[in-house]
Structure 1
Amino acid sequence: MSDKKADFSNLLNVLREVYEDKLPFNKHLGIQVVSLEADGVCVRINMKEDFIGNFAKGILHGGVISAVIDLTGGMMASMGILKKMEGRSSDEIIARLTRVGTIDLRVDYLRGGRGKYFLTNASILRTGNKVAVTRTEFRNDKDLLIAAGTGTYMVG
């Protein structure tokens, strides 16, 4: 990107492209960004045989749930950066986005991960200059809450 002031919609497209196409693990998961807005992020993954954690019950592995909650929370933390840095150059914003990292993640598993697909929805609880805290819900295709997570991310 050039050093011109960043256009918010272009930055959203860059963020979507990074999370869907540039990160090999996310590509393996097959994540699809359903919505990417200043006040919320929604991500979808489809159930795959490779994701089964309990072969007898055919339910989603907890590590997949945790990973998707983490990446969705990270996207939401990144949205907080985009909002705070509006009007800055795209180079400055991208440099700051590359420093986003998970500090802490707590996941509460509420029921077995059964479904054809799953959606995660994240929102910001707080964004500071150095740290952002997000809340993410992980639901199945029947809108049952499978897990919920709170993530703390380095953003500064």
Structure 2
Amino acid sequence: MKREADIAVAEEARLLAIIRDSFVERMPFNRILGIDVLSLHHDRPELSFAMRPELVGNYVRNILHGGVISAVLDVTGGLVAFLGVQQKLKGKPVEEVLERFARIGTIDLRVDYLRPGDGARFLARGYPLRTGNKVAVARMEMFNDRSELIAVGTAAYTVS
């Protein structure tokens, strides 16, 4: 019994390492954004990235482009959706879970911009609202390095 539990823990750790690598290293756009995964907790994953000149939308104010904010919130919501699927498939082979990952896509994304994207570093956090067999819904928040909430989002993802 202990051996089976040890194998399950090792498989989950392997899967989480693959997820981290996928989101940080293997997705070219995420690399451009400079995204780093801080937490892969299924109820509250967190991503961060640093401000860089390439991400500026308003050069006079030196603030993030709204598209960067939207993109990072979408990546965060996608991570929430995938972690929800991973929880539903707990105990299944890693390959089966990863196959589902390849099918996740954004259905709808709403972003509310609350403050200018001013800061040196940003944190995005996601929360699952519902993970069904076909659709997952997530809530996302983005903060600057002064812990000011700069944007929130809600998104639906296909997960079947």
Distance in structure 1 (CA, Å) of the matches to 2:141 and 2:79 = 14
2:159 matched to which residue of 1?
155
% identity of equivalent residues: 48
1:81 matched to which residue of 2?
85
- Give 3-state SS (helix, strand or coil) of 2:45's partner: strand
2:13 matched to which residue of 1?
9
Q: Which moved more, 1:140-149 or 1:33-42?
A: 33-42
2:145 matched to which residue of 1?
141
Instruction: Give 1:88 deviation, angstroms.
Output: 1.0
2:3 matched to which residue of 1?
none
1:47 to 37, 48, 51: 51
Instruction: Give 1:7 deviation, angstroms.
Output: 1.3
Across the two proteins, how many residue pairs are aligned to each other? Answer: 153
1:114 to 97, 111, 118: 118
- Give 3-state SS (helix, strand or coil) of 1:53's partner: strand
Distance in structure 1 (CA, Å) of the matches to 2:62 and 2:98 = 40
Instruction: Give 1:24 deviation, angstroms.
Output: 0.5
Structure 2 runs not aligned, ≥5 long:
1-6
- Letter of the 2:96 partner, please give it: E
Name which structure has the greater RCO, CA cutoff 8 Å, separation 6+: 1
Give the TM-score of the pair, scaled to structure 2: 0.93
Give the TM-score of the pair, scaled to structure 1: 0.95
Q: Which moved more, 1:84-93 or 1:113-122?
A: 84-93
- Letter of the 2:125 partner, please give it: N
Deviation by residue 1:71-106 (Cα, 9 ceiling, x = unmatched): 011001000010000111112111111100000000
Deviation by residue 1:108-135 (Cα, 9 ceiling, x = unmatched): 0001000000000001000100000000
Q: CA RMSD in A?
A: 1.3
- Give 3-state SS (helix, strand or coil) of 2:86's partner: helix
Distance in structure 2 (CA, Å) of the matches to 1:63 and 1:136 = 15
